[in-house]
Copies of this chain bind each other. A is one copy, B any other.
Amino acid sequence: MKKRDVYKRQAKVLKALASESRLMIIDRLGRGECSAGELTALVGSDQSTVSKHLAVLRAHDIVEDRREGTTVYYRLLTPCVLDFFSCAARVIKERS
């Protein structure tokens, strides 16, 4: 693959994560599966807003969902996204 395309794909992943709300969701899912409802309460935005954030994460194969009755449970599909937290923490620490 061309190097340019690699940058493009990496930028897409970063964009999918670059949101305060989505980081909250990912951090929570890093501690285990969780329903959309709980995530909505956690983030504190409108239910539709959180659902859209979840759609973004799904579209990027960062999370996957599982329906059980009327409840939809989400979990991390690529747990290594959690590594970004330590990276970001290092950056924030290093520059301050």
Residues of B within 8 A of A15 (CB): 15, 18
Q: Does A34 contact B (CB under 8 A)?
A: no
Cα–Cα distance between A35 and B44 once the two chains are bound (Å): 45
Count A interface residues, CB 8 Å. 34
Residues of B within 8 A of A84 (CB): 10, 14, 84, 87
Judged by DSSP, the binding face of A is helix
Q: In the complex, what's the smallest C-beta–C-beta distance from A49 to chain B, in angstroms?
A: 15
Give which listed residue, B10, B18, B94, contacts A89 with CB less than 8 A: B10
Q: Evaluate contact between A10 and B88: CB separation under 8 angstroms.
A: yes
Closest to A87 in B: B83
Task: Identify 9 new A-B residue pairs, CB closer than 8 A, beyond the known A60-B95, A62-B95, A83-B87.
Answer: A10-B23, A10-B88, A10-B92, A11-B20, A14-B88, A15-B18, A77-B95, A80-B87, A80-B90
